[in-house]
Structure 1
Amino acid sequence: METAKREPSEGNSAVRELIGKGAEAYIYKEGGYVIKVRESKGYRHPELDAKLRKTRTKKEATALEKCRCAGIPCPEMKTYTESAIVMEYIEGKRLSEIFEESGSGKKREYAGKCGVLLAEMHKIGLCHGDYALTNLVEHNGVIRPIDFGLCEFSTYYEKKAADLAVMYSSMKDEEAFNTFIEEYKARYSDSEEVVRRFEKNLTRGRYKKR
């Protein structure tokens, strides 16, 4: 697993392909798997760096496990270490692309599915942290959430309202977002307070469309 912490060489690129690079992790694809490796940061104290990578990796791995147990179709995790996670690679198209190509009816259909999916996550106390169309993949008619790197387990309504805010900023379609909220409220018993917090912050101008 340690070799995954470096970008693959030319000779190895056909086996392990770098497909993404975020603020704290490299994302590789190898066969039918994704390997997400949290990089060591030279500007951090070594002990703090190791602790942060271990804690964040563990939290993300726990989120994937809990989602799978709850029937939420996130990537299936195969294994993880203190700084890396190996998980299923999901074939499909990101909803951000689908929305650009779809009419209003199709957008509302997908938006409703997104609302149901978020409700199921909030039921188990999981806030995604970046619940945007770019982090949702459609595969064989099923919407599957990816990238739990910013996830957090929380009972705070404000944290859950932040997930609604990210989707509001991402969706850019009022009708579709209204459908998203309707389905979310229909599936989650504490949704009224979450939506109230979201709307309060929206009125204050805290949320803007991207």
Structure 2
Amino acid sequence: MGGVKLVSTAQSLFCTRIQWALKLQGVEYELIEEDLRNKSPILLKYNPVHKKVPVLVHHDTPIAESLVILEYIDETWKENPLLPQDPYDRAVARFWAKFADEKVVFGVWTACSAEGEKKEKAIEAALESLEHLEKQIEGKKFFGGEQIGYLDLVVGWIPHWLNVMEEVGGMKLLKVERFPCLLDWGQHFIHTPLIKECIPPREKLVEYMSGSIRYFRSLAANKP
């Protein structure tokens, strides 16, 4: 197998999904915690382009970007396939994963950090994006069927991270009358023992996101 390392930060939803994937495949790895305010020589060596986490290092060869890493894990270790075998189903899973990262994550974060009229518009946009995921999970236990798969890992931040964003952003997005299937899926996912053991403590996420919001708002306030 060779040595496997994961350069990561505990609060990052993008990093946690990689831990979940490695654990699902039974891959032993060394976790290297990174301080993004003081980037280490290791991070700069393995990801000199973007200088961000996560980075998976396998046989001293780095792979960056979480969606790319998930596919690498799926293709390298075959114990529990993450992506569907059918080419069309694989393409659909990739489509929704890209949608989730570009629209849902960004939309929820914007709703969390914005203020005033911008916040109201951002909340509506975030709800619209979440409704697409609600339709995708209807009638299923997991997005991947009966077993946790690629798309479950990509959107697995929703049951924990989104709840924290709701708190620090002073909003409520996931209401049971609007998202019953997504909420039900979230409970199945988050209480899976292997998934649960990698989730960062809620209080640390609250502290981290509150600090991030203050930072982004200060940037916006000082914008010429």
Q: TM-score, normalised by structure 2?
A: 0.36
Higher relative contact order (CA 8 A, sep 6+): 2
Select the structure that is richer in strand.
1
Select the structure that is richer in helix.
2
Q: TM-score, normalised by structure 1?
A: 0.38
